[in-house]
């Protein structure tokens, strides 16, 4: 980092919080005036706590201030990721699956499924569907259900299609396949 040039007033203000050598060292390291003040204030506070005999509290206060100056972080992460809604999982949590779901032989994991995928998975119903691969060739998709004996509701849904040979290389995305299934369900329901 390039050296920070402090005005005489800024230098005096910072030196009042710590020593002249500390101000020069932090300035030479490229810290901004605000960062220098924050570091020196924290060190001053830590020295006061240390004088009172609470060394652990002093060390903790100093470490926290250093962390805030060097790498400020969110106290509570908003949960914004490629999987979440744009608002983040804190403001708008992703939906939970209505039952255990499997994509071929792999269980659909909530943590690595997008909000859109989870919404679509919750809409599919058991049946046989005719989808299309990106190259235009047909793809038969079977959605099977295991039903709970007591409630009569699905306890497990499995989405299954042929992947032997090179067929796994010509699949569309999960979203496109699920949308095609739901579109066919809607068409059948209206008929």
pLDDT at 73: 65
- In this predicted model, what pLDDT tens digit does every residue of 138-157 receive, in sequence order? 999 999 999 999 998 899 99
pLDDT at 104: 92
Confidence of residue 164 (pLDDT cuts 50, 70, 90): confident
Per DSSP, the residues of 52-67 read TT-HHHHHHHHHHHHH
**Distances from the Cα of 97 to the Cα of 3, 59, 79, 101, 177, angstroms:** 54, 45, 19, 7, 17
Lowest mean pLDDT among 2-16, 25-39, 51-65, 92-106: 51-65
Average pLDDT, rounded, for the chain: 85
pLDDT at 75: 66
- In this predicted model, what pLDDT tens digit does every residue of 53-74 receive, in sequence order? 666 776 777 777 777 666 666 6
DSSP state of 149: T
- In this predicted model, what pLDDT tens digit does every residue of 87-132 receive, in sequence order? 999 999 999 999 999 999 899 999 999 999 999 999 999 999 999 9
Q: Where are the domains of the chain?
A: 8-70, 100-190
């Amino acid at each position: 980092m390039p050296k920070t040039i402090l005005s005489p007033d800024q230098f005096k203000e910072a030196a009042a919080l710590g020593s002249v050598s500390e101000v020069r060292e932090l300035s030479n390291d490229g810290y901004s005036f605000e960062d220098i003040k924050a570091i020196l204030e924290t060190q001053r506070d830590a020295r006061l706590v240390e004088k009172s005999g609470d060394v652990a509290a002093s060390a903790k206060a100093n470490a926290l201030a250093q962390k805030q100056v060097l790498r400020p972080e969110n106290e509570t992460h908003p949960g914004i990721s490629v999987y979440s809604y744009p608002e983040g999982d804190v403001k708008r949590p992703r939906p939970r699956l209505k039952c255990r779901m499997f994509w071929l032989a792999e269980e659909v994991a909530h943590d690595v499924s997008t909000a859109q995928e989870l919404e679509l998975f919750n809409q599919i119903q058991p049946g046989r569907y005719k989808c299309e691969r990106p190259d235009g060739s047909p793809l038969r998709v079977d959605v099977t259900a295991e039903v709970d004996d007591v409630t009569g509701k699905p306890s497990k849904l499995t989405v299954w299609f042929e992947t032997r040979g090179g067929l796994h290389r010509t699949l569309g995305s999960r979203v496109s396949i699920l949308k095609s299934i739901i579109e066919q369900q809607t068409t059948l329901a209206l008929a």
